[in-house]
Chains A and B, each alone.
Chain A
Amino acid sequence: MNHPGSNHTDDHTLDRVQAVPALIGRHEDFLIVTGLAGTAKDVAALTDDGDHIYTLAGAMGAAAMMGFGLALAQTERRVLVVTGDGELLMNIGALATIAVVNPANLSIICVDNGHYGETGYQKSHTSLGVDLEKMAIGAGINATRTITREDQIADASTFIRETNGTAFACLQVKATNPPSYRRLLDPAACRGRFRSALLGRP
């Protein structure tokens, strides 16, 4: 491997409860779209279910493209997608679609714990050799990194804000629980809340 990440997630040492907030940093800098389950809870807890986030609880595979459409619509804002390895893999082709356009205001964080957290922590593909950073590079995303250690996080938090193209960061974490947080699950209410805050109309 030509990057420091590990495909054997038993080696992961970071705890998502600390690492995700540390990597995101000042969350108000972004409009955020999350995947389901783990990353939805990570970001809902961090932002207290803020009106600048849209979390999924279904439509698995949609997160990256949803962030992309938002980034194209709001070119003056930074858009952050925070999703899990399973959700990203469900529509991995999105990395190709996005890379061809390479919007500078879009960053993607994949919280890679190598397991399907919602369904009993079965091993996912990234526990079994699949390398998401390599897939992003292969798709044509030029700004990529994999974070496995705490001392890499501060730099990576700058990285997701300052590239001149789409940024992809694979945050490798232990297969431990996300924060427990009960967020608004109504997709229409979340849409209205997000649009009211951003656009002044639901």
Chain B
Amino acid sequence: MSSTSSSTSSSPDPRWPDELYALLREHGVTQFAYVPDAGHTTLIDRSLADPDVNSIALTTEEEGVAMLAGADLGGARGVLLMQSSGAGNCINILSMIKAGRFPFLTLISMRGDFGEGNPWQMPMGQALRPVLAAMGVICIDVDSPEAVVPSVEGALTMTFKAGNAVAVLLTQKLIGAKAF
């Protein structure tokens, strides 16, 4: 995976990725869908190593939205791990999430936001919040390591108890901006 360095680096060995995996498993998440992204390395690798979950690499992020709706029909909980650029690939399938009132949880590693140096990332990074809000997805920003677990715990309740579509945004203040 690519290295990250920036003026806003997180602590050298963050514990929140492993704590986050444990939290998701405690809440009964058994399907992990993703297009691999550096920001989700630990969650992806932990799900691949876990014999009790399905760890599914997608060819495009919209597949994960559809897959998790199918999981819900079958009584299973899942999470979509993606980069902000991939959220743009999800929009029309989010229609089914909204009209169908499917619970839906996504963890999004941000690009095109604070400290971004790749111009290609800027439009979707800046459009992400308004576009997801327009599709009925509640966005929760996470800027610091100690806020990750509490924010995702809140998101899990909002999703699987209250039936919402929720996106937790792991911002570039948390995960750092990729060096170019």
Contact = CB atoms under 8 A, between A and B. Distances in A.
B31 interface: yes
A100 B69 CA distance: 20
A119 B62 CA distance: 24
B71 to A, nearest CB: 4
A195 B72 CA distance: 8
Contacts, number: 118
A111 interface: no
Interface residue SS majority, chain A: helix
Classify chain B's interface size: 20 to 34
**Interface magnitude class on chain A:** 35 or more
A177 interface: no
Interface string A101-125: 1000000000000000000000000
A70 B75 CA distance: 8
Contacts of A64: 66
Contacts of B30: 73
Nearest to B33: A69
Nearest to B96: A59
B102 interface: yes
Nearest to B78: A69
Interface string A13-49: 0000000000000000001010000000000000000
A183 B73 CA distance: 18
Contacts of A94: 59, 63, 66
B44 to A, nearest CB: 14
Interface string B87-128: 000001101100111100000000000000000000000000
B71 A73 contact: yes
Given A70-B71, A73-B73, A101-B54, A65 B66 contact: yes
B74 A69 contact: yes
Interface of B: 30-31, 54, 56-60, 62-76, 78, 92-93, 95-96, 99-102
25 contacts: A54-B73, A59-B92, A62-B69, A65-B66, A66-B66, A68-B67, A68-B70, A69-B67, A69-B72, A69-B74, A72-B54, A73-B30, A73-B71, A91-B62, A91-B63, A93-B60, A93-B63, A94-B63, A97-B56, A100-B57, A190-B100, A191-B100, A191-B102, A198-B73, A198-B75
Given A58-B95, A69-B76, 11 more contacts: A31-B73, A60-B92, A65-B63, A65-B70, A69-B66, A69-B78, A73-B75, A91-B66, A97-B57, A191-B100, A195-B75
